[in-house]
């Protein structure tokens, strides 16, 4: 797990649990996005490809089991259920409909980490490297790095989420509101700062952007031309 930084979606309506678990997972080298409901989680999985989902069963609105039923057929992401001690029938049903594991509350954070690593070790047979290369630029979304003209730039999780969404949707425009919802930020000036920072890392000439363009107040990712674009690489098996 040292090279591969897994991205986890944490779904729980309890803000205290979300905050504590996210902090612990971050300290153990995981990227974490949170959702406070099944509905919010559904929006997130439509935007981001996660490596694992931690899902509370008992939530207002749709519960965790309903979330699995809605998405498991088209979602190959492993799921760990968080359950109350007395929810034996729900645990059984969760496993029957596609959850990979469960953990009763309250739980030891170390046990959660071990369960996450055990599942990822089974599901990630080879290191899933998401690398995009074009011109003199190489974007490594797993290592959170951009290499440009032999210069190395670190990107944070917020920048990674924006880049991944835009690279997967070349030619589509995104408003500040779209980006704000994506990264859970509603301050336009802060969003502008993030985009400016990204341009400095990805563009040859940030003042005249070629890939991250602004069109009528919206952001557009322009896919490189075929002669500039090199094939994204998957690693050979170790």
Residues 111 and 150 in one domain: no
pLDDT one-digit tens code per residue, 131-183: 777 778 888 887 788 998 888 998 887 888 888 888 777 778 888 888 888 87
Helix (H, G, I), strand (E, B) or coil at 11: strand
* Boundary residue ending a domain (91, 123, 155): 123
Q: Considering the entire predicted model, what is its pTM?
A: 0.56
Q: Which domain holds residue 29?
A: 7-123
Between helix 157-167 and helix 188-202 the angle, nearest 10°, is: 70
The HSE-up count of residue 105 (CA atoms within 13 Å, CB side) is 15
Return d(Cα 163, Cα 168) in angstroms, integer.
8
Q: Which of 104, 106, 114, 119 is nearest to 52 (CA)?
A: 119
Residues 119 and 163 in one domain: no
Cα 61 to chain center, whole Å? Answer: 24
Query: What pLDDT does 14 receive?
Result: 92
* Boundary residue ending a domain (71, 103, 123): 123
Residues 149 and 80 in one domain: no
């Amino acid at each position: 797990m040292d090279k591969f930084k897994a991205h986890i979606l944490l779904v729980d309506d309890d803000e205290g649990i979300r905050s504590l678990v996210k902090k612990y997972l971050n300290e153990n080298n995981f990227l974490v996005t949170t959702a406070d409901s099944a509905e919010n989680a559904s929006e997130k999985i439509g935007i981001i490809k996660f490596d694992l989902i931690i899902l509370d069963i008992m939530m207002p609105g749709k519960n965790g089991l309903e979330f699995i039923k809605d998405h498991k057929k088209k979602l190959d992401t492993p799921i760990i259920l968080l359950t109350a001690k007395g929810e034996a029938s729900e645990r059984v049903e969760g496993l029957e409909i596609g959850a990979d594991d469960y953990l009763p509350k309250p739980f030891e954070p170390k046990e959660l980490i071990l369960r996450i690593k055990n599942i990822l070790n089974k599901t990630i047979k080879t290191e899933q490297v998401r690398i995009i290369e074009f011109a003199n630029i190489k974007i490594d979304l797993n290592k959170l790095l951009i290499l440009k003209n032999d210069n190395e730039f670190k990107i944070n999780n917020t920048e990674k989420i924006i880049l991944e969404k835009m690279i997967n949707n070349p030619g589509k425009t995104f408003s500040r509101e779209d980006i704000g919802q994506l990264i859970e930020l509603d301050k336009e000036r802060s969003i502008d700062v993030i985009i400016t920072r990204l341009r400095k890392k990805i563009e040859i000439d940030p003042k005249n952007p070629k890939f991250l363009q602004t069109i009528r107040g919206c952001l557009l990712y322009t896919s490189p031309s075929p002669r500039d674009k090199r094939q994204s690489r998957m690693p050979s098996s170790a």
